[in-house]
Amino acid sequence: MMWILYICAVLPLLVICDIAYRFIRFQRQALPLDIKCFSPYDEPFHPCVLYFKEGFGGYKYWMAETPLPKVGLPYSERWECPTIHVSNNGVDWLPGVEDSFPLADLTPDEIEAKCYYSDPHLVYAKDKLECWYRFCRMDGSTIVETKFLRRITSDGIVWSQPELLCQWYHQYDEDNIKHSATELLFDNVRAGDIDRQLVLSPSVEYDGALYHMWYCVQDNAGQLHVAYSTSSDAQHWEDRNICELQGGNHLRPWHLSVLTYEDSFYLTLYDAKVRDVSLWEGKDPMHFQFSKCLLSTKKVLGCPYSRRLYRSSLVNDGEWKLYYSAESHNKASIGLMHGRDLMNLKQSRINHRFELKKFWQEYCSYLDFKKKRLAPKFAKIFKIPKK
């Protein structure tokens, strides 16, 4: 009997201590950028940022991103459309002109089929701004076609019609094994390895003569690698080359970005296995040395990246700025780290305000999230029948 009284006395105290501890840490977490989306959810994701010292179209900073709300209706990827934002300080962002907000949208038939866009990237080439992005046509939960497209503007206001850069068709046999068909992008990949032609999460730069593209590829064993290719027209590419990454724990490289600055190549890489964003530096476009883990997921209430990180984008405007994708248990966002020293970046916005109401809302949302995740496990353990 005494142990029951002991539990009843101690348990509320433990709960109070847990809430107090979480509240103290809640006030010291990074705050994401306040970026308005074309969707009703205002949850931007997957940033690509370019800086123009003299400005372009009246703005010094241009961002392409694809909103990805955690609970978007009718499905989250419906809102994952390439969207343009502009800024003159890199912190306060405005929506692009109407035609670029979003730059591409789904038709009612595509929404019904659960198609989606993804992987936007900005390229400055030939005094024009290009936005590259991917489109996946779906049949239920199956991808049947993948395209890479681009739209181009000379003033940031009028954008060209979408231009097809490459596409893949996916077919499935009776055993649900995928077979892809496309024109060969890379001469040194055998026809029997067509699936390895796929380009995942590309990062592109133009040097006045060639497009340089870094991207992820998957080999026949399922291992992901960082690859590099060049092209003079963005449609016909030279041989695909696997980049060499030395040091670090590049276990599953996924979304990446490359910045060329002062004769060095800076690769920021999201590792899908350990869920961190790391920095790699190279003196040529194919060999990179691990420098530092810039950011790791932090399982703290109120942290915008408590669940995962994703694609990041590095710029230098006199100081370094790292824009990164963040996801908590209930929201997606874009955050910013900055500093003169690339090895010592700091969060641009920290929450120091006493916001008890906001904390309590976040805490209740977190408990509800954990309840939904744990309920199926308890049901399985205790064999609770479904209602």
3-state secondary structure 253-310: EEEEEEEEECCEEEEEEEECCCCEEEEEEEEECCEEEEEEEEEECCCCCCCCCCCEEE
| Measured distance CA(23)–CA(6) in Å, rounded | 26
319 contacts 294 by C-beta, under 8 angstroms? no
3-class secondary structure, 246: strand
pTM: 0.86
| Measured distance CA(325)–CA(337) in Å, rounded | 11
pLDDT of residue 358: 67
pLDDT of residue 22: 61
3-class secondary structure, 214: strand
Residue 335: in which H helix or E strand, if any? Answer: strand 332-339
| Measured distance CA(235)–CA(341) in Å, rounded | 37
pLDDT of residue 119: 96
Question: Of 370, 375, 260, 235, nearest to 315 (Cα)?
Answer: 260
pLDDT of residue 248: 78
Which burial class, exposed, middle or buried, applies to 54 when counting CB atoms under 10 A from its CB (0-12, 13-18, 19+)? exposed
Respond yes or no on whether the N-terminal peptide bond of residue 74 is cis (omega within 30° of 0).
Answer: yes
183 contacts 166 by C-beta, under 8 angstroms? yes
pLDDT of residue 347: 92
| Alpha carbons within 13 A on the beta-carbon side of 309 | 29
pLDDT of residue 360: 60
**Structure token pair of residue 60:** 């010094």
Residues of the chain with pLDDT under 70: 1, 3, 5-7, 9-27, 170-197, 250, 350-387
**Structure token pair of residue 381:** 């353990």
| Residues near 234 by beta carbon (within 8 Å), at least 6 away in sequence | 150, 165, 204, 211
| Measured distance CA(31)–CA(305) in Å, rounded | 10
| Residues near 334 by beta carbon (within 8 Å), at least 6 away in sequence | 32, 33, 35, 44, 45, 47, 65, 323, 324, 325, 326
